[in-house]
Amino acid sequence: MSSPLSHQGTRMVDARAYTASIDGLRRANVELNLANQYIRHLEQQLQKRGDDLATLSQVFKKTSLEYAEVGRVVDVALAAVKYGAPGADAKGYLAKVQGRLAVLEKAMKEQREAMQKLVPVKVPIKWDGGANSVRVMGSFDFWTRGVDMSSPDADGGDSMQRSFETTLSLVPGTYLIKFLVDNQWRCAPGWPIESSSDGDNNVLHVDPLP
């Protein structure tokens, strides 16, 4: 027959195993929720990219049509000059060419602007202040993973670093970000701040490339 002490030891082991399994399950649920959020974020980004590409396709189509129209008007104007059309008619054709060129220039500008909105921009991010670790989090990935920041002082031998840097590749737009500094949420001083019921966040504006 087992002694009461051995039963007590078994119960203690079982309790520890149960607690460990519950903690592991909770961590797994947190990771699963983050993964699901990130998947939804990717789905939204794919949908947005699809919409952007559809818009860009329409802009390309418009530019192509304008280019063809300019070519047609130029051919008519050249034929008029070649076969001795009256001066007034020739000037009229040239005026049409100028008008179509202006429309084409506008269409090409719209095309360029539409493309610029799809080109990711390298955005340097910096955190100034003593810390052991810093991660930038934000709406750029639906607040799921974030990006670890590195310190240029990492080889100085001091565990407490003075500044942290990273570079984000973001399409033009406006993002909310926040810094996880030694596992504490912090806003960067000097950055624009947006306040809501969920707290304060830094605002990051990313402009298209020139």
pLDDT digits (tens, 9 = 90+) for 4-20: 444 555 555 577 776 76
Quick one: residue 65, left, alpha or beta (phi over 0 = left, psi -120 to 50 = alpha)? alpha
Question: What is the per-residue pLDDT across 156-195, written as a single tens digit (0 to 9) for each?
Answer: 555 677 899 999 999 889 999 999 999 999 999 989 999 9
pLDDT given at position 109? 75
pLDDT given at position 119? 79
Joined tokens for residue 40: 């939804």
pLDDT given at position 100? 72
**Whether 47 and 106 share a structural domain:** yes
**Whether 109 and 130 share a structural domain:** no
Number of domains present in the structure of the chain = 2
> What parts of the chain have a pLDDT lower than 50?
1, 4-6
CATH number at residue 154: 2.60.40.10
pLDDT given at position 164? 94
| Residue given tokens 């084409």 in the structure block | 104
- Domain endpoint, select from 93, 118, 143: 118
What distance in Å separates the CA atoms of residue 88 and residue 96, rounded to the nearest whole number?
12
Where in the sequence is the domain holding 95, given as residue range(s)? 1-118
**Whether 69 and 126 share a structural domain:** no
**Whether 194 and 109 share a structural domain:** no
pLDDT given at position 90? 64
pLDDT given at position 96? 75
pTM strictly above 0.75: no
What distance in Å separates the CA atoms of residue 78 and residue 72, rounded to the nearest whole number?
10
- Domain endpoint, select from 77, 93, 118: 118
pLDDT given at position 152? 83
